[in-house]
């Protein structure tokens, strides 16, 4: 597949989500919420039927209830992770305990939602899980965010320098990609095409390298990266309210960059600072005991500082 095809690829069947939930009304409700957002959803009312579905089809995300009529949900997660480790898992349960949360995370679950949860909390958790797989939700603002004309000017400058400095050998490709990312903050499609041409590598191979290494970004990134912890301790202490604030007030979902390119929002599994949960990190600054009001204050201060710097 050529790069442009790969990036333009919008198979309507992607991403694929399997909801394993024995309460029909809950399963259908969650399915509807995701379908309206463009996800392709399958339902499984038992653990056995969920495993059968995984035998027949690839899923990007398993939304897993833990209490099922046949197999323990935790056992299903274990088997899914063993057979298809790339599948993300979001646990939903009405019987939440710290032990089950910890066990689920140890098995590789991305997040743990205790019922009842709001539609927004659910959608936000699903988006967060899929962002870790390099997907964005179909209507993500990050996907819609396009390269700016100044990106192309900067890319032309950087590629000119690269052509003078490097020989165009295949072993140089990672260093070249890094130079472009250092200059632009991400690697636009046009850069992939030019680098493939310069190193005489197939476009798909360069694209494969970029998507293989986590350090490379294919989408523009904001001047400030806001990371919100979704680990168990932060989740229990209200990380969801922080994400809601970012979503409603700043129109940012995990993986997205604001239209003015000021902020990019990411989520992480744990910063290792659980004692000061819920934790948010902006660039290198750790913000402890966060709540929605503090989020507004931190981001407003940053925006004001930036505008002062821009004036000088």
Give the residue, chosen from 26, 270, 298, 303, that forms a contact with ligand FES under the rule CB under 6 A. 270
In the bound state with ligand FES, the residue whose beta carbon lies nearer, of 47 and 231, is 231
Give the residue, chosen from 274, 281, 298, 303, that forms a contact with ligand FES under the rule CB under 6 A. 274
In the bound state with ligand FES, the residue whose beta carbon lies nearer, of 89 and 229, is 229
Q: With CB under 6 A as the contact rule, which of the stretches 122-130, 199-207, 270-278, 283-291 interacts with ligand FES?
A: 270-278
Please report how close the Cβ of residue 17 comes to ligand FES at its closest, in angstroms: 25
Closest residue to ligand FES, Cβ-based?
A: 231
Please report how close the Cβ of residue 222 comes to ligand FES at its closest, in angstroms: 22
Tokens 């201060």 appear where? 301
In the bound state with ligand FES, the residue whose beta carbon lies nearer, of 181 and 232, is 232
Site string for ligand FES, 229-248 (x = CB under 6 A): x-xxxx--------------
Tokens 């005991």 appear where? 289
Please report how close the Cβ of residue 277 comes to ligand FES at its closest, in angstroms: 5
Q: Does residue 34 belong to the site contacting ligand FES (CB under 6 A)?
A: no
Q: How many residues bind ligand FES (CB under 6 A)?
A: 11
Q: Does residue 267 belong to the site contacting ligand FES (CB under 6 A)?
A: no
Binding site for ligand FES (CB under 6 A): 229, 231-234, 270-271, 273-274, 277, 279
């Amino acid at each position: 597949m050529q790069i442009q095809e790969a990036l333009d690829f919008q198979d309507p069947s992607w991403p694929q989500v399997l909801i394993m939930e024995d309460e029909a009304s809950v399963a259908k409700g969650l399915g509807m919420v995701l379908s309206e957002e463009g996800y392709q959803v399958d339902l499984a009312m038992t653990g056995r039927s969920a495993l059968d579905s995984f035998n027949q089809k690839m899923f990007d995300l398993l939304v897993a209830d833990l209490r099922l009529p046949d197999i323990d949900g935790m056992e299903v997660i274990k088997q899914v992770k063993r057979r298809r480790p790339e599948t993300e898992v979001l646990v939903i349960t009405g019987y939440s305990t710290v032990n089950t949360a910890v066990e689920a995370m140890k098995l590789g679950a991305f997040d743990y939602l205790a019922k009842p949860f709001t539609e927004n909390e659910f959608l936000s958790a699903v988006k967060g899980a899929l962002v870790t797989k390099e997907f964005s939700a179909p209507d993500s603002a990050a996907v819609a965010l396009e390269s700016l004309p100044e990106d192309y000017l900067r890319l032309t400058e950087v590629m000119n320098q690269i052509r003078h400095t490097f020989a165009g050998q295949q072993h140089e490709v990672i260093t070249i990609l890094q130079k472009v990312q250092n200059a632009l903050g991400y690697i636009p499609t046009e850069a992939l095409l030019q680098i493939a041409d310069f190193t005489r590598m197939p476009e798909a191979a360069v694209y494969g390298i970029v998507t293989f290494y986590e350090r490379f970004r294919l989408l523009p990134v904001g001047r400030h990266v806001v990371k919100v912890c979704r680990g168990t301790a932060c989740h229990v202490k209200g990380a969801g309210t922080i994400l809601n604030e970012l979503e409603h007030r700043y129109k940012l979902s995990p993986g997205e960059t604001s239209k003015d390119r000021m902020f990019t929002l990411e989520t992480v599994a744990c910063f290792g600072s659980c004692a000061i949960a819920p934790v948010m990190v902006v660039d290198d600054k750790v913000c402890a005991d966060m709540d929605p009001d503090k989020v507004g204050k931190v981001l407003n201060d940053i925006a004001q500082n930036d505008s002062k710097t821009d004036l000088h």
